[in-house]
Amino acid sequence: MPLKPESQLIWSPTVVNSRMNRSRNASGVNSYEKEFGFRPEDFLMSVMQSRGSASWLDLCCGHGKALLQVKHYFDKQHLGDRLHLKGIDLVDTFDSYDKNAPGLTFEVNSLITWEPDTSYDLITCVHGLHYVGDKVFVIEKAAKALSATGLFIANLDDQHIVVEGVQSKSYLKKMFAQHGFEFNPRRKILKRVGVRDIHFGLQYQGADDEVGPNYTGQEAVASYYMLSPTE
């Protein structure tokens, strides 16, 4: 099985045609609330009440519908100037919005080449990691981009992360726990609270975009790693 580097994976039909998060709402039906068990607007409001402002970075944001809904929610309460929202996606299919309005930006970028420009109180990735090659690298970057009490939460399929020479699922569970992450293997949810400069010690080897559907029923990408010599 030939593994693909990121430069090839980015053009894969499996990646480009992913539809898992294109039009997901912030709350209610087909929403971030359903995936993660809380309303983003409630979480951000709590942060804002304690700190005066709040920020949310949505990785693989699709059309950006959830971000736009949250912006509208805070604008209606005249709190939009205390909110910083950013969405990143591989393709520019963002819903129309006022690009001159403060507090909301969208960026067309791969999560591999994305570089955090500030810290965030909330970082989400709804089903986006399924289509990323070096998933571990993206998780490391997300942890580094959190605020001191910020929350990172994402869907993660441990079946599609393979570490050569070990029992991958057991190794990943232990690895995440050692670095302060909580992983729920039944719900496929990974989360962490608080910023940390993390290096998991895995060497990325490439990805397989022909493994077929994952637990969502849609085509996904499997990521392959080797242990670093010191591990």
Q: For residue range 37-58, what is the model confidence (pLDDT) as tens digits?
A: 999 999 999 999 999 999 999 9
Q: At residue 220, does pLDDT exceed 70? A: yes
| Mean pLDDT value of segment 10-38 | 81
- Looking at residue 102, its pLDDT comes to 85
For residue 97, the number of C-alpha atoms closer than 13 Å in the C-beta half-sphere is 25
> Is CATH 3.40.50.300 what the domain over 6-227 is classified as, yes or no?
no
Where are the chain's structural domains?
6-227
- Residue-wise pLDDT for 131-149, tens only, equals 999 999 999 999 999 999 9
Of residues 17 and 165, the one with the higher pLDDT is: 165
Mean pLDDT of the chain: 93
Look up residue 126 and give its two tokens: 């709804």
- Looking at residue 37, its pLDDT comes to 96
- 167 three-state secondary structure: coil
| Mean pLDDT value of segment 170-189 | 97
Q: How far apart are CA 53 and CA 103, in angstroms?
A: 11
Look up residue 127 and give its two tokens: 């089903």
Report angle CA 15, 202, 184 to the nearest 5 degrees.
70
- Looking at residue 20, its pLDDT comes to 53
Tell me if 109 sits within 8 A of 135, measured CB to CB: no
Helices (H) and strands (E) in the chain, counts: 7, 10
| Torsion angle, alpha carbons of 15, 19, 187, 66, to 10 | 120
| Torsion angle, alpha carbons of 227, 228, 230, 231, to 10 | -30
**Nearest of 101, 125, 98, 100 to residue 111 by alpha carbon:** 125
- Residue-wise pLDDT for 68-88, tens only, equals 999 999 999 999 999 999 999
Look up residue 12 and give its two tokens: 């894969």
- Looking at residue 230, its pLDDT comes to 67
- Looking at residue 51, its pLDDT comes to 94
| Mean pLDDT value of segment 174-199 | 97
pTM of the model: 0.95
**Nearest of 59, 25, 24, 203 to residue 131 by alpha carbon:** 59
**Nearest of 137, 154, 146, 141 to residue 195 by alpha carbon:** 146
